[in-house]
């Protein structure tokens, strides 16, 4: 406790990315260890299939980052659901096709464990990590002239 307030977020800018707790959705995709992503910047997208901003702006933006930066950056999606609604695997399979995911994505453990541990503000929420595993940026939203523009600047500095 700090100043009589509970601190939920374990994420701190300038510190190593805390471990995540994720579940695979598709059997062929094993949940990666964080060390897998060392050596390149990592962009994490917290999203939900029930979030219009995620589907309309965030997922297309993450796809664009993968397309434009190729092997210079890793992108990982974490499907979180702070409302506690479990989506069937079929819904994820359909979304993977419909939105042309260019990056792997996994389910957050117990709907929102990593989401809470990383202090996410809602969906979509972004966390940017440098090639050494240090958190450099965290932002909520998908407004093109705010969150996504700021992410572009930060990503361009890292790649």
Q: What domains are there in the chain, each with its CATH number?
A: 45-158 (3.40.30.10)
Least confident of 1-5, 36-40, 119-123, 133-137: 1-5
Average pLDDT, the chain: 92
Q: What is the pLDDT of residue 33?
A: 94
Q: What is the pLDDT of residue 85?
A: 79
* Global confidence as pTM: 0.92
Give the integer Cα–Cα distance in Å for 22 and 31: 7
Q: What is the mean pLDDT of residues 109-120?
A: 91
Judged on CB neighbours under 10 Å (0-12, 13-18, 19+), 1 is exposed
Q: What is the pLDDT of residue 13?
A: 94
Helix, strand, coil shares of the chain, percent, nearest 5, are 35, 20, 45
Where are the alpha helices (H) located in 2-159, listed in sequence order? 52-53, 59-69, 89-98, 113-117, 147-158
pLDDT at 5 over 60: no
pLDDT at 2 over 60: no
pLDDT at 1 over 60: no
Judged on CB neighbours under 10 Å (0-12, 13-18, 19+), 100 is exposed
Q: What is the mean pLDDT of residues 82-102?
A: 91
pLDDT at 105 over 50: yes
Give the integer Cα–Cα distance in Å for 3 and 100: 45
Q: What is the pLDDT of residue 8?
A: 64
């Amino acid at each position: 406790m700090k100043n009589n307030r509970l601190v939920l977020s374990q994420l701190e800018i300038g510190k190593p990315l805390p471990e995540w707790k994720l579940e695979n959705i598709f059997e062929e995709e094993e949940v990666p260890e964080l060390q897998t992503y060392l050596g390149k910047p990592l962009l994490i997208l917290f999203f939900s299939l029930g979030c219009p901003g995620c589907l309309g702006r965030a997922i297309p933006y993450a796809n664009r980052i993968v397309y434009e930066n190729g092997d210079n950056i890793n992108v990982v999606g974490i499907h979180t659901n702070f409302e506690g609604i479990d989506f069937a695997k079929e819904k994820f399979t359909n979304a993977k096709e419909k939105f042309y995911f260019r990056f792997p994505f996994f389910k957050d453990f117990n709907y929102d464990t990593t989401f809470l541990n990383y202090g996410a503000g809602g969906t979509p929420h972004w966390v940017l990590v440098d090639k050494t595993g240090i958190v450099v940026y965290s932002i909520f939203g998908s407004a093109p002239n705010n969150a996504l523009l700021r992410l572009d600047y930060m990503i361009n500095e890292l790649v």
